[in-house]
């Protein structure tokens, strides 16, 4: 009986449990606010590039961190190095599994070189895997190009427009870090064992791929495709909720108001939408979903999360839904590495306790 009571006292899913002090980011779920190293998301998204935000996140965690321009040059050189690993893309894996398998070829380390090889690797591997899925040969990186421009060129074979590269930068910056989300927590656990940065990032990508975390935007595209027209939205969503399904791109453990990242991405997708009908459909689906969720789940404030407009943005940039989680990982790798370093520099082995609720051994009288 005592054991049972203790079991019930646990915070399910560790909701509300504080497991780290961090200088990296703060998620205020009541105000719908995200702060990254002292900057509001709105001060960074659409205004900084991937290399600049990499510098912001890694600052203080490596004694030999160069200035932002030097870091961008290191990233370019690391993309070239990573390309050597795409000689053997494993067959029979989905996109995120293939990128994870290629990442596992990067030796573990805790130094700046490893820290830069990992985000460079995720982008080069994602581009190579995306091309392989279309039956095309991987394209080598251009170390002189900026990271987002080079990534899109490696996927498509031609240079993106300035708006497209800016939209990818906005996306990567928007998702670079987000408090102690599931993958970042998992990364900190691995880092706390001193396993090394590659192991920590592999833990992160493995955790991110689940549909309740970074795997949601692919199913958002499927939902929009199935709904097809705004007039079908209400009936489709009601049927899904009646079947007990979750609407992908809605709800969040921390946010009780709209996820600020959703608006940053919606703004970034507008200049891209050659297919403005798609954006109009998404807006209609979003409005219907929010209405139905408030009617059906009145006890929980379920709002649009980052994944809904991630789907629209990455689709408009030409990525396939199966590749979306890999692109998410491109941005989030920066946050994972910064958290891993913070854990190693300031933390202790993470080893929580559990309450045993199984059978009690029978002791012979």
Instruction: Give me the residues paired with residue 33 across strands.
Output: 28
Residue 329: CB partners within 8 Å, gap ≥ 6? 96, 99, 122, 126, 204, 205, 208, 214
Q: Is 307 a catalytic residue?
A: yes
Give yes or no for residue 216 binding ligand ACO (CB under 6 A).
Answer: yes
Distance CA 48, CA 46 (A): 6
Q: Which is nearer to ligand ACO, 50 or 309 (CB)?
A: 309
| Residue located via tokens 């205004």 | 47
Give yes or no for residue 251 binding ligand ACO (CB under 6 A).
Answer: yes
Instruction: Give me the residues paired with residue 250 across strands.
Output: 304
Give yes or no for residue 209 binding ligand ACO (CB under 6 A).
Answer: no
* Min separation Cβ 26 and ligand ACO, Å: 16
Kindly tell me which residue out of 4, 239, 256, 300 binds ligand ACO, with binding defined by CB under 6 A. Answer: 300
Give yes or no for residue 138 binding ligand ACO (CB under 6 A).
Answer: no
Give yes or no for residue 253 binding ligand ACO (CB under 6 A).
Answer: yes
The pair phi, psi for residue 249, each rounded to 5°, is 95, 5
Kindly tell me which residue out of 213, 234, 258, 270 binds ligand ACO, with binding defined by CB under 6 A. Answer: 213
| C-alpha angle 314-317-319 in degrees, rounded to nearest 5 | 60
Catalytic residue among 252, 315, 339, 342: 252
Residue 223: which of 252, 253, 244, 245 has the closest Cα?
A: 245
Catalytic residue among 72, 164, 286, 307: 307
* Min separation Cβ 162 and ligand ACO, Å: 28
Report DSSP letters for 208-219, one per residue. HTSTTTTT-HHH
Q: Is the separation of the CB atoms in 329 and 96 below 8 Å? A: yes
Give yes or no for residue 214 binding ligand ACO (CB under 6 A).
Answer: yes
Q: Is 339 a catalytic residue?
A: no
Residue 179: which of 59, 353, 20 has the closest Cα?
A: 20
Give yes or no for residue 312 binding ligand ACO (CB under 6 A).
Answer: no
Kindly tell me which residue out of 32, 179, 218, 249 binds ligand ACO, with binding defined by CB under 6 A. Answer: 249
Give yes or no for residue 307 binding ligand ACO (CB under 6 A).
Answer: yes
Residue numbers annotated as active site: 252, 307
User: Under the rule (CB under 6 A), what is the footprint of ligand ACO?
Assistant: 13, 181, 212-214, 216, 246-253, 297, 300, 302, 305-307
């Amino acid at each position: 009986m005592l054991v049972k009571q203790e079991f019930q006292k646990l915070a399910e899913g560790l909701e509300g449990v504080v497991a780290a002090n961090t200088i990296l980011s703060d998620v205020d779920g009541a105000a719908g606010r995200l702060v990254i190293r002292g900057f509001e998301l709105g001060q960074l998204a659409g205004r900084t590039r991937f290399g600049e935000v990499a510098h912001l996140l890694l600052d203080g965690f490596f004694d030999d961190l160069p200035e932002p321009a030097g870091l961008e040059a290191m990233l370019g050189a690391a993309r070239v190095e990573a390309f050597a690993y795409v000689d053997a893309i494993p067959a029979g894996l989905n996109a995120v599994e293939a990128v994870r398998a290629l990442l596992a070829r990067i030796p573990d380390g805790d130094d700046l070189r490893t820290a830069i090889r990992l985000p460079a690797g995720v982008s080069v591997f994602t581009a190579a895997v995306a091309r392989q899925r279309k039956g095309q040969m991987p394209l080598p990186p251009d170390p002189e190009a900026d990271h987002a421009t080079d990534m899109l060129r490696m996927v498509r074979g031609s240079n993106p427009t300035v708006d497209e590269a800016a939209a990818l930068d906005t996306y990567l910056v928007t998702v670079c870090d987000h408090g102690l989300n599931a993958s970042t927590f998992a990364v900190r656990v691995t880092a706390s064992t001193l396993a090394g940065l590659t192991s920590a990032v592999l833990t992160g990508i493995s955790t991110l791929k689940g549909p309740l975390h970074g795997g949601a935007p692919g199913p958002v595209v499927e939902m929009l495709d199935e709904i097809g027209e705004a007039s079908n939205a209400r009936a489709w969503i009601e049927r899904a909720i009646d079947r007990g399904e979750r609407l992908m791109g809605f709800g969040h453990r921390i946010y009780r108001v709209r996820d600020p990242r959703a608006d940053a991405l919606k703004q970034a997708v507008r200049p891209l939408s050659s297919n403005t009908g798609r954006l109009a459909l998404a807006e209609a689906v979003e409005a219907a979903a929010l209405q139905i969720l408030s009617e059906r789940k009145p006890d929980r404030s379920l709002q649009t999360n980052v994944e809904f407009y991630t789907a629209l943005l990455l689709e408009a940039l030409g990525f396939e839904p199966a590749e979306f989680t890999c692109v998410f990982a491109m941005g989030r790798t920066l946050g994972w590495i910064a958290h891993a370093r913070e854990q190693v520099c300031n933390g202790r082995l993470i080893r929580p306790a559990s309450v045993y609720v199984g059978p009690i051994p029978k002791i012979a009288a």
